[in-house]
Amino acid sequence: MKLPKILKYYSSFRSQHRKFSSTLLNRNLKRETFLEKISAGPGLQEFLNVKPSNALTRQSEVNEVFIPYLSVDNYNGQGRKVYFEVYGCQMNTNDTEVVWSILQTHGYDKCKDIKDADVIMVITCAIRERAEIKIWNRLQHLKALKNKRSIKRGPLQISILGCMAERLKQYVLEKEKCVDVVAGPDSYKDLPRLLALTRHYEHSAVNVLLSLDETYADVMPVRLNSESPTAFISIMRGCDNMCSYCIVPFTRGRERSRPLESIVNEVKVLANQGVQEVTLLGQNVNSYRDLSKDTVKKSTTVPGFKTVYKNKVNGLSFALLLQQVAETVPNMRIRFTSPHPKDFSEDVLRVIRDYPNICKNIHLPAQSGNNSVLERMRRGYTREAYLKLVDVIREFLPHVGLSSDFICGFCGETEAEFNDTVTLIEKVRYNMAYLFAYSMREKTSAYRNYKDDVPQLTKMERLQRMVEAFRKSAEELHKEFIGERELILIEGKSKRSDNYVFGRNEANIKVIVPLKNILINQSSIQQLEEIKIGDFVAVHVTESNSQVLKAEPLYKTSIQDFYSDK
């Protein structure tokens, strides 16, 4: 072959080789870039719980699959302002502080005026129908705010959180198109992602997955009211009791407890912030069981009480938690709510008795005073067992303040059965009571098995009779405080006059005192100082009624000094 032909073939081969190498390199680069994008992109969870808004669906006749794609960087709120509206129990208040902690770490700010908000968070309750009706009515106002929002300010996002969100799930979005995010009690850590999805794609987002282990123990709540001398600490979540009237197990899930160490650490942080009183929270707070630690002790119920579940084996008990918290902060008041009567073992009562900073105040929900109604409610005890427990509690704690919950008009309740509730209220005598007419909830055992057959007018009439029975006995009980010296923690100014402040005594009764200069004891030195929020003050009770006590302030003191002098 002649040299010119050889050079021609060689030149052609070099050209083809370069093209092939370039193509192969480009393919490899594209493959690497594709793999990088896949690994840095969303996981399976990112594609769940997202629903296109109905407006967008109507705009297109084609069913398109919506695939959200956001990097973690997009989860940042970039200074968007959040406004919180909290409804329901103390647990919702604590949940709000958990939510605020999560959002704050993702670049959100908080505002006090709803007109300044970019995000409105409504933390909801589902325990009764009236609580949900209040939220539906509130959403009409929020919808109007959203519609008036100027385009320059960007979208106003409305989020429904908590028990109502968990109970109704997708239905919230179907009924109210103004809602952007629906999140259940166990999905608060997912809120930055959910908010980012609705902001970037204008799609509604839902996460209502319940968890078997989420306790938010790794989230340090940020208090909404940092000036308050009181705070709440969630020690466990969920409930296993399955009372037939109660929606809580379906909106809060199964019981799970925080590690004891994480609770003690949070108490220390609050003490350093100047908090003078903490309330330990749980749906069934005294069934607390830290299963992260092994013990040989098995949990037991009070004699005469039974449960629908097996007793828990191993773990650290509520009595031990109370003791460790009390010893960690001896000059901080300790309260807890809401308990179940079955878990008030003598171990718990001894700890309450032996530590002066644990308030001698016990919430003892009865719900009804009739055995047949209690059985239909699946409460796990009789009237007689409940009264025997009251006697045991008063043996350990002679001056205990008792409070309770009662429901009238439960399914099939007769007049005679209701009268047993009234006589129980009169016999026990409570300092405080939460009284309700029955409201049937979907998913509960009562919804499946019973009929809500007590007329509404009858329920209201019975509720009024319960209120009258409670107020009469509470008024008599509170008269016994007149002339006594009580210790109160000043929590704030009276609603009726800036010249008065209020606090609560051990029994959790509100005490009104005039705002004035009083003695402060420092060893042997005595001087005058003005009463301030957060002060422990010894007072002399002068008046009482079924709701409050009135008193004259004597001197400032501490928990240890007050009880050592008494």
Same domain, residue pair 491 and 473: no
Do 336 and 425 reside in the same domain of the chain?
Answer: yes
The DSSP code for 367 is: B
Taking the C-alpha atoms of residue 400 and residue 430, their distance in angstroms, rounded to an integer, is 10
Residues 390 and 322 in one domain: yes
Measured between alpha carbons, how far is 314 from 303 in angstroms, rounded to an integer?
20
Whole-model pTM: value is: 0.85
Q: What is the CATH number of the domain that holds 506?
A: 2.40.50.140
Q: Is residue 143 part of a domain?
A: yes
Which single residue is written with the structure tokens 């000043």?
A: 490
Q: Both 186 and 279 in a single domain?
A: no
Structural domain ending residue among the three candidates 477, 510, 529: 477
Q: Residue 433 is encoded by which pair of tokens?
A: 């009571």
Strand partners, 521: 526
In a domain, 114, yes or no: yes
Whether 355 and 447 map to the same domain: the answer is: yes
Does any domain span residue 26?
no
Same domain, yes or no, for 388 and 301?
yes
H or E element, residue 246: none
**280: nearest Cα among 237, 344, 216:** 237
The contacts found for 550-554 with CB under 8 angstroms, 24 or more apart, are: 550/511, 550/512, 550/513, 551/486, 551/488, 551/511, 551/512, 551/513, 552/513, 552/514, 553/513, 553/514, 553/516, 553/518, 554/485, 554/518, 554/519
Q: How many domains does the chain have?
A: 3
Q: What is the dihedral of CA 322, 327, 330, 334, to 10 degrees?
A: -10
* 443 plus 551 within the same structural domain: no
Residue 295 falls within a domain, yes or no? yes
**Residue 517 and residue 382 share a domain:** no
Q: Specify if 365 maps to a domain.
A: yes
Range of the domain at 175: 72-207
Residue 91 and residue 131 in one domain: yes
Look up the CATH number of the domain holding residue 122: 3.40.50.12160
What is the chain's pLDDT, residue by residue, as a tens digit (566 residues)? 555 555 455 555 555 655 555 555 455 555 555 455 445 454 544 444 444 444 333 333 334 445 566 777 789 999 999 999 999 999 999 999 999 999 999 999 999 999 999 999 999 999 889 999 999 999 999 999 999 988 888 889 999 999 999 999 999 999 998 999 999 999 999 999 999 999 888 889 999 999 999 999 999 999 999 899 999 999 999 999 999 999 999 999 999 999 999 999 999 999 999 999 999 999 999 999 998 877 756 667 888 888 888 777 788 999 999 999 999 999 999 999 999 999 999 999 999 999 999 999 999 999 999 999 999 999 999 999 999 999 999 999 999 999 999 999 999 999 999 999 999 999 999 999 999 999 999 999 999 999 999 999 999 999 999 999 999 999 999 999 999 999 999 999 998 888 999 999 999 999 999 998 887 776 556 778 889 999 999 999 999 999 999 999 999 999 999 998 76
Instruction: Mark out the alpha helices in 405-515 (DSSP H runs).
Output: 415-428, 445-449, 456-479
- 508-543 tens-digit pLDDT: 999 999 998 887 776 556 778 889 999 999 999 999
- Does 303 share its domain with 415? yes
38 in a structural domain: no
Residue carrying the six token digits 């994480």: 262
Q: What stretches of 41-128 show up as alpha helix (H) in DSSP?
A: 54-59, 90-104
Domain boundary among 207, 222, 238: 207
For residues 494 and 470, state if they share a domain.
Answer: no
Structure tokens at 462: 């019975």
Give me the CATH number covering residue 352.
Answer: 3.80.30.20
Q: Residue 505 corresponds to which tokens in the numbers above? A: 């005594």
Co-location of 452 and 505 in the same domain = no
Out of 426, 452, 477, pick the residue that ends a domain.
477
510: in domain: yes
Cβ pair 534, 490 in contact under 8 A:
yes
27: alpha, beta or left? (left if phi > 0; alpha if psi -120 to 50): alpha
Other C-beta atoms closer than 10 Å to the C-beta of 33 total 10
Per the domain annotation, does 59 fall within a domain? no
